[in-house]
Amino acid sequence: MKLIITDIENFSIPVEGDHKIIKPQGNIQHCIGCFGCWAKTPGKCVLLDGYEETGRDMGKCTELIIVSRCHYGSVSPFVKMIQDRAISYTHADFVIRKGEMHHKRRYKNIITLSSHLYGENITTIEKETALELLKANAENYDGLVKDVYFYQSVEDLGDVVL
């Protein structure tokens, strides 16, 4: 299953195969740092606003595709809030991978990550940061990196098939 996380409300980009799209549908609450998703309702965020099950969805996917406006090399606040609230994809416990501390796996699936980032004036340094960010995400999810793609505007995504 492909999991698409996007900040585009009227998302209409075609997606091949089995997929789920998480997009803005009503207000989202931001992560409050309570760790309830690890130690109260393991696997699920405690804030019940319709965006609480991304960690579980990530456990079922083979590809995680982010489609977002690029802000300073990061994804947009909406996409980031979704990611922040999905840390329960991993287990709370730590492991050491490649000499660095990360979280242990909760699920067995290997996720391949890609980002499609749009924005009028994405600078070279922001593009470098965005790639580093995706690689770091992949390291923390114990997954793989596909690539980061950049577009001048949402309209430029018109020819893309995910």
Partner 1 sequence: MRIALINGSPKVKNSSSSILLEDLKGYLGKNVEIVNVELHSPVITKEDIEELMKTDAWVFSCPLYVDGIPGHLLSCLIQLEESCVKNSKKHIYGIVNCGFYEGIQAKIALKILQNWCLKTGYIWSGGIGVGGGGGLAMISNMKPGQGPKAAIDRAIEKLALSILKNDITENQYVSIAFPRFLYKMAAQLGWRQMIKANGGKAKDLGKKLD
Residue 80 as a binder of partner 1 (CB under 8 A): the answer is yes
Q: Measured between alpha carbons, how far is 53 from 87 in angstroms, rounded to an integer?
A: 10
Task: Give least dist CB 34 to partner 1, A.
Answer: 8
E-assigned strand segments in the chain: 2-6, 19-22, 63-69, 90-97, 100-105, 112-118, 144-151
Residue 20 as a binder of partner 1 (CB under 8 A): the answer is no
Segment contacting partner 1 (CB under 8 A): 15-23, 36-44, 142-150, 154-162? 36-44
Task: Give least dist CB 21 to partner 1, A.
Answer: 19
Collect all residues with Cβ–Cβ distance below 8 Å to 116 and sequence separation of at least 6. Answer: 65, 66, 67, 68, 148, 149, 151, 157, 160, 162
> Three-state DSSP class for 77?
helix
Residue 35 as a binder of partner 1 (CB under 8 A): the answer is yes
Residue 1 as a binder of partner 1 (CB under 8 A): the answer is no
Strands 19-22, 63-69: parallel, antiparallel or unpaired by DSSP? unpaired
Residue 100 as a binder of partner 1 (CB under 8 A): the answer is yes
Binding footprint of partner 1 on the chain (CB under 8 A):
30-33, 35-36, 38-40, 42-44, 53, 55-56, 59, 71-78, 80-84, 87, 91-94, 96, 100-102, 106-107, 123, 125-126, 129, 132-133, 136-137, 140
